[in-house]
């Protein structure tokens, strides 16, 4: 991949029908990348995104898969390549974020979080490496992997697994594939909460505000354009991870 250019490359972005994933898709398209927009339960939003991407002059495809189903995870890379041709960039963005703590966390929640948030990115990365042999992978972590999240226990465990997996696959897939991560902090309110939720927490951020999806997309863009960075995590969190270290 020519350093600094993703023009004409094709990127598969999981969970990209809405929110941060959508913003990443638009940012990559603005640099000339064609987009395979994966979705699960948001077909209308995915189609709307595909229309907007086409309007920006790139090719766009949508592909549905439910990561609660292991067979659907297994087939996604092949299905994306069948639709779009060679895939050069994989962004593992799809995630679940259920609430649980050490008192009430269940085995079922741990398994589901691990499957959607860590196993799916791993299987997609492995299939991508095997099928494509070269390219860029970016995994979406969470800035709290520098510490804990006491009210989303199974979720944060799954993100810690994804962080370790990022480093292991970076070594395993070198030199032809780079694997990096972006760890967002306070960006968007979780589904079901409104803007006041992140406004209230903004005071806990060293930079005293929440970030925007575009801040996350900028970091993804840097990582997919770089050809000498691998195994790295970019924290896009206004410095909150620096406090997480002491919260542990
Ligand atoms: N929002 C933040 O402030 C924040 C903070 C820290 C980390 N992050 C991380 O950044 C990434 C993007 O965040 P976000 O808030 O935009 O994510 P999100 O809205 O919670 O989820 C993104 C997408 O994941 C897909 N998804 C969920 N369950 C799935 C399943 N079983 N199978 C396949 N896809 C599934 C959904 O697709 P459908 O809608 O099509 O079902 C959803 O739109 C995530 O990895 C998240 O953990 C976000």
CA-nearest of 72, 15, 75 to 49 is 15
Band (pLDDT 50/70/90 cuts) for residue 244 is confident
Measured from the Cα of 117, ligand 1's closest atom is 45
CA-based nearest residue to 186, from 198, 204, 194: 198
Ligand 1 binding pocket includes 235 (Cβ within 6 Å): no
Query: Please, is 240 exposed, middle or buried when counting C-beta atoms within 10 Å of its C-beta (0-12, 13-18, 19+)?
Result: buried
In the block, which residue shows the tokens 């996350």? 216
CATH of residue 89:
3.40.50.720
Helix 107-114 vs helix 153-173: crossing angle, to nearest 10: 30
Q: pLDDT digit string (tens) for 77-104?
A: 999 999 999 999 999 999 999 999 999 9
- Residue 236 pairs in a beta bridge with 184
235 counts as catalytic: no
Number of domains present in the structure of the chain? 1
Q: Classify residue 5: in a domain, yes or no.
A: no
Ligand 1: which atom is nearest the Cα of residue 144? 6
Rounded distance from Cα 95 to ligand 1 centre (Å)? 4
> Which residue segment(s) compose the domain that 79 sits in?
10-247
pLDDT at position 246: 56
Residue 2: inside a domain, yes or no?
no
How does pLDDT run across 64-79, given as a tens digit for each residue? 999 999 999 999 999 9
- Residue 191's pLDDT is 83
28 assigned to some structural domain: yes
Mean pLDDT of 43-57: 98
Atom of ligand 1 nearest to the CA of 20: 16
3: in domain: no
Confidence check: pLDDT of 171 > 50: yes
Q: What integer pLDDT is reported at residue 192 of this predicted model?
A: 87
* 80, part of any domain: yes
Mean pLDDT of 11-38: 98
172 has pLDDT over 90 = yes
Q: What percentage of the chain exceeds 90 in pLDDT?
A: 95
Count of alpha carbons within 13 angstroms of residue 145, beta-carbon side: 24
Rounded alpha-carbon distances, angstroms, from residue 157 to 14, 67, 171, 179: 20, 17, 22, 20
Asked whether 217 lines ligand 1 (CB < 6 A), one says no
| 175 preceded by a cis bond (ω within 30 of 0) | yes
Q: Can you tell me which atom of ligand 1 is nearest the CA of 143? A: 6
Q: So what's the pLDDT on residue 247?
A: 56
Is residue 186's pLDDT more than 60?
yes
Beta-carbon contacts of residue 202 (< 8 Å; ≥ 6 apart): 186, 208, 209, 210
Note the pLDDT of residue 248: 47
Tell whether ligand 1 has an atom less than 6 A from the beta carbon of residue 181: no
Whether residue 1 is predicted with pLDDT greater than 60 in this model: the reply is no
43, pLDDT greater than 50? yes
Threshold 0.95, pTM exceeds: yes
Segment 192-224, tens digit of pLDDT = 899 999 999 999 999 999 999 999 999 999 999
Q: How far apart are CA 152 and CA 157, in angstroms?
A: 9
Mean pLDDT of the chain: 96
Pick the catalytic residue from 155, 197, 222, 245: 155
d(CA 233, CA 219): 10
For 31, the token pair is: 């640099």
Structure tokens at 164: 């370790």
The predicted structure's pLDDT at residue 11: 99
Pocket probe for ligand 1: among 15, 46, 233, the residue whose CB has the most ligand atoms within 8 Å is: 15
Q: Tell me the CA–centroid distance for residue 93 and ligand 1, in Å.
A: 6
Whether ligand 1 lies within 6 angstroms of the CB of 116 is answered as yes
């Amino acid at each position: 991949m020519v350093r600094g250019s993703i023009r004409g490359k094709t990127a598969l972005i999981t969970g990209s029908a809405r929110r941060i994933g959508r913003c990443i898709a638009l940012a990559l398209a603005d640099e000339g990348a064609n987009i395979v927009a994966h979705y699960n339960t948001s077909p209308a939003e995915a189609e709307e995104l595909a229309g907007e991407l086409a309007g920006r002059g790139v090719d766009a495809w949508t592909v549905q898969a439910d990561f609660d189903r292991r067979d659907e995870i297994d087939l996604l890379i092949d299905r994306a390549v069948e639709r779009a041709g060679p895939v050069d960039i994989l962004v593992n963005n799809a995630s679940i974020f259920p609430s649980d703590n050490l008192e009430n966390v269940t085995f079922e929640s741990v398994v589901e979080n691990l499957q959607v948030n860590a196993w799916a990115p791993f299987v997609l990365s492995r299939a991508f490496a095997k099928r494509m042999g070269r390219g860029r992978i970016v995994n979406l972590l969470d800035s709290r992997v520098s510490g804990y999240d006491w009210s989303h226990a199974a979720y944060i465990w799954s993100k810690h697994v994804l962080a370790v997996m990022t480093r292991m696959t970076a070594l395993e897939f070198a030199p032809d594939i780079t694997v990096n991560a972006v760890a967002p902090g306070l960006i968007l309110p979780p589904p079901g909460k409104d803007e006041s939720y992140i406004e209230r927490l903004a005071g806990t951020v060293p930079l005293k505000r929440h970030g925007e999806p575009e801040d996350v997309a900028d970091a993804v863009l840097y990582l997919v354009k770089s050809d000498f960075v691998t195994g790295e995590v970019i924290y896009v969190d206004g410095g909150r991870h620096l406090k997480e270290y002491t919260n542990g």
